[in-house]
Amino acid sequence: MIEWYDAHLVLIQSTFVNLLLVLSIQVPLRMGVFSFAGVGSYGLGAYVSAILTIRYEIPAYVAIGVGILLAASIGYLLALVVSRLKGLYLAMATIAFVLILSVIATNGGELTGGAQGLYGAISDLNTLEVIMVSVVVIVLLALSERGATKRRIDAVREDPELAMSVGIPVVRLQRLSFVISGALGACAGGMNALLRTTVSPQALSFHLVVLALTMIIVGGLRSWIGALIGAVVFTWLPSMLQLAGEWQSVVYGLIVVLAAIFVPTGLLGLVQDTYRKLRRRSSRVVARDSVSGTDDTDTERALFASLGGDNRTGGSR
C-alpha cells in the first residue's frame, strides 16, 4: 500500500488538484452559468503563489490564500462585467478571459518568467494538506446538494425567472458562483504550482479548458461525485493507456467521443440509472410475490436469507 502510494504520489496529488479545478467550473454550471473562468483563476492562483513563494519565501497557506483572495475578487469583477451574457456566449467570453491571461503570462517578462515560466517555488506544502483541503471543499459542496439549498440552486438553473419571482436572489447567487469558482480554481492552481515547484503558461491554455470540460461531461454535471469521477478517470487514464503505446492519444479521443454519445448524463448518471433500474426490478419481484403468495413473512424471510442472511427475520412483524 505504502509502496503503491509512493510510486503514484504525483498522480494522487494531480487527482485532487484536478478535482478542485473541475469543481471550479462545475459550481457555476450547477447554477446555469456556463463559465470557464475557473481555469483563468487556476493560472492566476498558480502564478501568484509561485511568485510569492520565490520572492518572499512565505508559508504555503499564505501564498495560496493571497491567490485565492485575488482570484475571488477578480471573479466578482468578471461577474459584474459579463452579467449580460448567457450560454455559449458566456463560455466564449470566459475562454477569451483565460487566453488573455495566458498572453499576459507569456509576455510578463521578469515577473512571470515569459514562455518558460517560473522555477524553484519550493514550499512546505504536503499531500495530506491537499487532501484535507479537498475533503473540506467536498463536504461544503455536498451540503449544498441537499435540502433547501439544493432546491434553490436547481431553481436558479432550470428557471431563473421563476426562481426570481419566488424570492430567490438569482443574480446574487450567480455572482457568488463566480466568486466560489475563482477561489476553488486559484486554490487548485496554487497547490499545483507549489507541489510541482514550477508554473508555466501551460496553466492557462485552451487545452486545460478542454480537459476540464471533458472531465465534467464524462463524470457528471450535477454533483461533486461526478466531478470526482471525471478527475479520477482523466488523471489516471493516460498512465493506464501507456499499454496502447503510440496510439494512446487516439484511444483517449475515442473514449471521449464514446462517452459524449452514449453516456449523456455522465458516468455518475449511468451508475444512478443502473442502480435505480435494479432496485425497481427487485421491488417488482417483492410486489408480485406478496400478491401471489399468501404468507408474506415467508417470502420476505427467503428474500432476506438470499440477500446474505440478515437476522431481521425475528419478531419485527
d(CA 312, CA 306): 13
Beta carbon of residue 35, minimum distance to another protein (angstroms, whole number): 13
User: How many residues lie near another protein (CB under 8 A)?
Assistant: 41
Residue 217 binds to another protein (criterion: CB under 8 A): yes
Tell the burial category of 168 from Cβ atoms under 10 Å away from its Cβ (0-12, 13-18, 19+): middle
Residue 233 binds to another protein (criterion: CB under 8 A): no
Among 61, 69, 76, 106, binds another protein (CB under 8 A): 106
Q: Which is nearer to another protein, 23 or 259 (CB)?
A: 259
Beta carbon of residue 47, minimum distance to another protein (angstroms, whole number): 17
- Contact segment (CB under 8 A) with another protein among 229-237, 242-250, 271-279, 293-301 equals 242-250
Q: Give the Å distances, CA to CA, from 113 to 55, 62, 182, 233, 295.
A: 13, 22, 23, 32, 78
Beta carbon of residue 239, minimum distance to another protein (angstroms, whole number): 17
Among 253, 277, 280, 296, binds another protein (CB under 8 A): 253
Determine the distance from the C-alpha atom of residue 22 to the mean position of all C-alpha atoms in its chain, rounded to a whole number. Answer: 3
Residue 27 binds to another protein (criterion: CB under 8 A): no
H-type alpha helices, the chain: 2-7, 9-30, 37-56, 60-81, 87-106, 127-144, 147-158, 160-165, 170-196, 206-219, 224-240, 248-262, 266-292, 296-306
- Contact segment (CB under 8 A) with another protein among 38-46, 117-125, 235-243, 254-262 equals 254-262
Which of 187, 99, 87 minimizes the C-alpha distance to 136? 187
Among 2, 88, 128, 291, binds another protein (CB under 8 A): 88
Beta carbon of residue 207, minimum distance to another protein (angstroms, whole number): 9
Among 257, 278, 287, 305, binds another protein (CB under 8 A): 257
Residue 259 binds to another protein (criterion: CB under 8 A): yes
Q: Which is nearer to another protein, 98 or 179 (CB)?
A: 98
Place of cell 514550477: 198
Residue 162 binds to another protein (criterion: CB under 8 A): no
Is residue 234 within 8 A of residue 218, CB to CB? The reply is: yes
Among 7, 11, 77, 103, binds another protein (CB under 8 A): 103
Longest dimension (CA), the chain: 84
For 124-162, give the DSSP string. Answer: ---HHHHHHHHHHHHHHHHHHTSHHHHHHHHHHHH-HHH
Residue 87 binds to another protein (criterion: CB under 8 A): yes
Residue 270 binds to another protein (criterion: CB under 8 A): no
Is residue 24 within 8 A of residue 10, CB to CB? The reply is: no
Among 247, 278, 290, 312, binds another protein (CB under 8 A): 247
Which of 239, 227, 230 minimizes the C-alpha distance to 10? 239
Residues that bind another protein (CB under 8 A): 81-82, 84-89, 92-93, 95-97, 99-100, 103-104, 106-107, 206, 210, 213-214, 217-218, 221, 246-247, 249-250, 252-261, 264
